[in-house]
Structure 1
Amino acid sequence: MATRYNNMIIRSRPWYIFKRLNSTKPFFTSTPIFYVNAAPHIGHLYSMLLADVRTRWEKLDPNKKAYFLTGTDEHGLKIQAAAEKQGIDPKLFVDQVSTNFKDLANLVNIDYDRFIRTTDADHITLVRHFWEMMMEKGYIYQGSHKGWYCVSDETFYPDNQIEEFVNKEGETKKRSIETKNEVVYQEENNYFFKLSEFQSQLLTFLKSNPDFIKPKSKYELIVNELTKNKLPDLSISRPASRLKWSIEVPNDPTQKMYVWFDALLNYLTAAGFPQGFTLGEQGQYITSPTNIWPATHVIGKDIVRFHCIYWPIFLMAAKIDLPRQVIVHSHWLVDGVKMSKSLGNVIDPVDISKYYGIDPVRFFLIENSNIADDCKFSEVALSSTRDMLLGKYGNLFMRIGAKNFNVRESVQDYHSGKFTNIEDTIKAHTINRDSVDILIQQRQELIEKLDSLYERMNENFVNFDSMKAMQSWWSVLDATNGIFQTAEPWLYAKKIKQDDPSKQEYANLISSYVFMCAETCRITSILLQPIAPELAERMLDRLGVAKDNRNSTFAKFGADSSYGAGANDKGHKVPLEKVELRIEAES
């Protein structure tokens, strides 16, 4: 059998193997849609932030396009129960709680393109359409289901995913190995999806695409499960007598759709499926070059099975391109323990953002992000990071923005060639002779670091290794502050005032050091925009950097000759106000 793909004839290969990515397509990032049975916590913010920063980073390149989807999952038994407990209609309940997530996203400057809700009309239409597609293909059938059901996770688990535990009352119960939530044994008549038919296809795909799931530990977890265990078919409906708040199964009012079958399809809803897709010779759906699909999914580790087994199989059954990648992040711990209401250690993202500031919180979570391992949160660490931003980053702006210096003049001096022989001037006129060789070496190293900073950070951000990206960012600031301290440009200002015979050389040295610092401020601020957008904007405004010059093209040493006007004017506000550690402030 042969088919044509990107003008190539490919023979005897399944459609899902030979296809991967069209590099010209928009970069589509998604968070999980958040379940609205409770208020948002810092874990929700973390998912949003990882996706937001990755999308903003993509947009730093003026030649690239990106799309960001987040939203809320609003059907299911837990929501039905929560609404009943409050004595209100489920739709009213989800309207209220969904707003909390949208408000959090807006508060912390999450720049989404769509905030999707599973109660949206176009999503419900898509879900029904997809169900009917699967029925027509013969992948859905009716049957009786016996098994371990978890109310908290709203899913049935196979026997090999269950373990015994002793609860607080000393009773021996069973729970999910993955989520640690209790399960109960029950039997009911449902519709089933033929997951088992696609086990070998999914395993083949994963082995051919080892970077499909990151980090590697989660990839190995899924491959190991598919290799060692037979994949059971999936119950994808619940009796309407028990589950009322869900999408009705087409042509069967006695059944409601399983919440995960509904929820996972939100990513296709955002892509406009089936519009923007055409049918290929093998019956596969091909996305147009302008369509956002496929997506890079950012999810928490507790829903890896749903996104890395169920979801790819649904797409394989429909012959739709699989996601570009699934990024699985770990949890945030407080004092080494996962956050929970019962322990009273849940961190309120709204509360900390309002006290410490939105951008410091964003910066802290990104700087300390490690998707492979659980991350540690403390207000002491957050406050310390905020102080470092103020002391190392903000203070550099304050130094070169002082009235004794002139940023605009230093930019003009560089672009007019006044620093062509600056190393000779350093050798001949540095006041502290012991620092001559150090300054020359530091200057060369800093220029190299600034010139390569975007590429180094880009490699890290593309791989969701934001911790290493921010280490590179800090290393440039540390190097620049070191040069400023070693060069001591204020000493030359005193010599000039004394009408020293070498005052022109001294002025040139001052200007060159101011320019080095200004370039660090400009480039690091351009690259800070995805992480701390408002702070970066204030800094770039302070330097007088044109709006069109704030992208990756200009993240090179000497790439912008137009900035600096007004940088040394009086009346500039402090970029970041000092805030005391709240624990101390309240004591």
Structure 2
Amino acid sequence: MIKGVGIKWSSRSPIVLAKRWNSTKPFYITTPIFYVNAKPHLGHLYSMLLGDTRIRWEKLDPTNKAYFLTGTDEHGLKIQAAAEKLNMEPKELVDQVSQNFKNLAEVLNVNYDRFMRTTDADHAEVVKYFWNLMMEKGYIYEGSHSGWYSISDETFYPETQIEEIIDKDNNKKMIAKESRNEVVYQDEINYFFRLSKFQDQLLKHFEANPEFILPTQRYNQILKELRETKFEDLSISRPSSRLKWSIEVPNDPSQKIYVWFDALLNYITATGYPQAFTKTDDGYITPQDNPWPATHIVGKDIIKFHCIYWPIFLMAAGVDVPKQVIVHSHWLSDGFKMSKSLGNVVDPLEMLAYYGQDSIRFFLMENSNIDDDCKFSENLLVLSRDMIIGKYANLVTRIGGKSFNIRESIEYYHDKKYEGINELIEQYSVDKSKVEELIKTKDELIIGLDSIYEKMNEKIIKFDYIRAIQEWWLIIDKANYLFQNAEPWLLVKQIKQNKDDIKVNEQIKVVINFYTFLASETSRISSILINPVMPGLSTKILDRLGVEQGKRFVSDCKIGKDLSYGVDANSTKHKLPIERVEIRGNSVEK
């Protein structure tokens, strides 16, 4: 068989996008820790899936070490206000709401290694340690602060980023231009971090690492800000009289640590900082077996915090900056930003309950475009689900019927009975006018199957999931096209009609088994490679084929690499791996 072309990856770049074949360094990916002031929405689900899909892809090579972090951000004024409104203690509230995000991860089959909560004891210790370290280095000082503060965004905005609007009740109010959230003027005593001291250092890092942020438009956005805006020092505390629900500033009970200075540190808390790092005069050396630095997945609304504040905090401490920040856009519902007033908010748990985990996972990843806002439509979701059933799941259903024999087709390959298959296709094709097209298509399918992993990998390591899945669909479509045009079920009828001609029937049987083998190999290889996106359905299909658990990895994704499967694959005991449903509100098709 024709072998796929291998790709040689490099691991020498400071920003490692490619697969680290020769490195023992674990791959570490994080979602944002989600703020628990409201129940989970589609954006939270999307961030989780981007990370879960990427980590599962990494683990398709069992020699790779990988670590996935998600969790919840549980301090701040919004939590405090929400708890007061409900007449609850803040900890009681965050315990309840945080569980909603854990539940979302569970029903979505998100395979995280740790669910971080900023109320976790080890995290609080890291925050206090980091604060004291910055104090010792002289990067924190006390001063007065006045400015426009957004409770929703938990940040101050400069005067240039504020505008006055008239709301729907004809009242004047000030909002932040960037987030469109209301701001109020505050004057207070805070602690400040010397953010301005590190602007040039961060700019140099950006200029030396043009793929530090993906997509490129987000990188250019922050690069422009670094070049054109003079940074002010950052307020990192609030008076305890105003903010009660937060970590107390060490040695100063009159102040509480500002939520971002607390929250961002979760990413290194999970790696065992500082104990798991080697301290030097200049900072900290990350051990080879430690997962840090991370690849962060964040929404575009928190890009400044993760791409400016966070790397600067780390530079100040002498800790490696993140490997990369992936900034995704938002999901629009029926063409508009989701809002309660428009009635177009998508409840991910309701969708999951009706359409199933795999359908939701596949739809969101198939339509994932980190460059632009993505469009959610329930009609498109149903169409996507029907395509999965009609093309992907149906391929194994077709060859799994009583007319074909998957195990026998594999044994024929092992016994080299497909040598000279072109001549047999030419001789026994049902429609002689299709011979040339059939041979061309099967050759393309063979080449495609042997190179599909490399093609998908090239896209997935850049978080270009939409194009990776397009490559996957090309293989599925090619296999279905070949099987449909070859019409091997008609060849089965020919054998039944010509029972006496044993030699001819055996040759026809080779042709039937050849098409069955290519369809089964397509089902096997495509199921392994789509497992990070649809772990449930792909596992059902691999189970149906009888593929062993230890043969579901990258190394198995070549034609003929696994010849042990197929036993009992054509048994009538098998049920459909997925069934059709109509759009919600209509009856279910059985």
Q: How does 1:286-325 map to 2 (within 5 A)?
A: 286-325=285-324
Deviation at 1:585, TM superposition (A): 4.7
Question: What is the CA deviation profile of residues 202-235 of structure 1, one whole-angstrom value per residue up to 9, with x for unaligned ones?
Answer: 0110010010001111111101011111011000
Secondary structure of 2:183's partner? strand
Secondary structure of 1:78's partner? helix
Deviation at 1:445, TM superposition (A): 0.2
Runs (4+) of structure 1 exceeding 3 A deviation are 17-23, 583-586
Deviation at 1:571, TM superposition (A): 1.3
Unmatched 5+ stretches in structure 1: 1-16
Matched residue type, 1:529: N
Deviation at 1:20, TM superposition (A): 5.8
Distance in 2 separating the partners of 1:286 and 1:164: 48
Secondary structure of 2:149's partner? strand
What does residue 208 of structure 2 align with? 208
What does residue 171 of structure 1 align with? 171
Deviation at 1:425, TM superposition (A): 1.1
Q: TM-score, normalised by structure 2?
A: 0.95
Deviation at 1:310, TM superposition (A): 0.2
Distance in 1 separating the partners of 2:287 and 2:481: 51
Distance in 1 separating the partners of 2:269 and 2:170: 46
| 8 Å contact from structure 2 (residues 30, 297) kept in 1 | yes
What does residue 65 of structure 2 align with? 65
Matched, 1:131 2:153: no
Q: TM-score, normalised by structure 1?
A: 0.95
Q: How does 1:225-244 map to 2 (within 5 A)?
A: 225-244=225-244
Q: How does 1:110-125 map to 2 (within 5 A)?
A: 110-125=110-125
Matched, 1:391 2:390: yes
What does residue 357 of structure 1 align with? 356
Secondary structure of 2:560's partner? coil
Matched, 1:436 2:435: yes
Matched residue type, 1:328: V
Secondary structure of 2:68's partner? strand
Q: Name the count of aligned residue pairs.
A: 569
Secondary structure of 2:296's partner? strand
Deviation at 1:19, TM superposition (A): 6.0
What does residue 549 of structure 2 align with? 547
Distance in 1 separating the partners of 2:14 and 2:301: 29
Secondary structure of 2:244's partner? coil
Matched, 1:218 2:218: yes
Distance in 2 separating the partners of 1:163 and 1:535: 50
Secondary structure of 2:32's partner? coil
Distance in 2 separating the partners of 1:20 and 1:317: 20
> What is the percent sequence identity of the aligned residues?
59
What does residue 401 of structure 1 align with? 400
What does residue 50 of structure 2 align with? 50
Distance in 1 separating the partners of 2:162 and 2:13: 37
Secondary structure of 2:544's partner? helix
What does residue 512 of structure 2 align with? 510
| 8 Å contact from structure 2 (residues 412, 418) kept in 1 | yes
Alpha carbons of 1:332 and 1:585: their partners in 2 closer, same or farther (altered >3 Å)?
farther
Matched residue type, 2:91: K
What does residue 278 of structure 1 align with? 278
Matched, 1:538 2:540: yes
Matched, 1:337 2:336: yes
Deviation at 1:341, TM superposition (A): 2.6
Secondary structure of 1:182's partner? coil
Question: What is the CA deviation profile of residues 95-138 of structure 1, one whole-angstrom value per residue up to 9, with x for unaligned ones?
Answer: 00000110111111000000010000000000000000000000
Matched residue type, 1:546: E
Deviation at 1:429, TM superposition (A): 2.1
Deviation at 1:18, TM superposition (A): 9.8
What does residue 254 of structure 2 align with? 254
Deviation at 1:173, TM superposition (A): 2.8
What does residue 476 of structure 1 align with? 475
Secondary structure of 1:463's partner? coil
Matched residue type, 2:578: L
Question: What is the CA deviation profile of residues 316-366 of structure 1, one whole-angstrom value per residue up to 9, with x for unaligned ones?
Answer: 000100111000000000122111233322111110000000110000000
What does residue 522 of structure 1 align with? 524
Distance in 1 separating the partners of 2:173 and 2:210: 37
Distance in 2 separating the partners of 1:224 and 1:391: 47
Matched residue type, 2:400: G
Distance in 1 separating the partners of 2:164 and 2:399: 63
Deviation at 1:283, TM superposition (A): 1.1
Distance in 1 separating the partners of 2:66 and 2:320: 18
Deviation at 1:249, TM superposition (A): 0.1
What does residue 380 of structure 1 align with? 379
Deviation at 1:279, TM superposition (A): 3.0
Distance in 2 separating the partners of 1:39 and 1:491: 55
- Aligned-pair Cα RMSD in Å: 1.4
Distance in 1 separating the partners of 2:541 and 2:14: 44
What does residue 563 of structure 2 align with? 561
What does residue 465 of structure 1 align with? 464
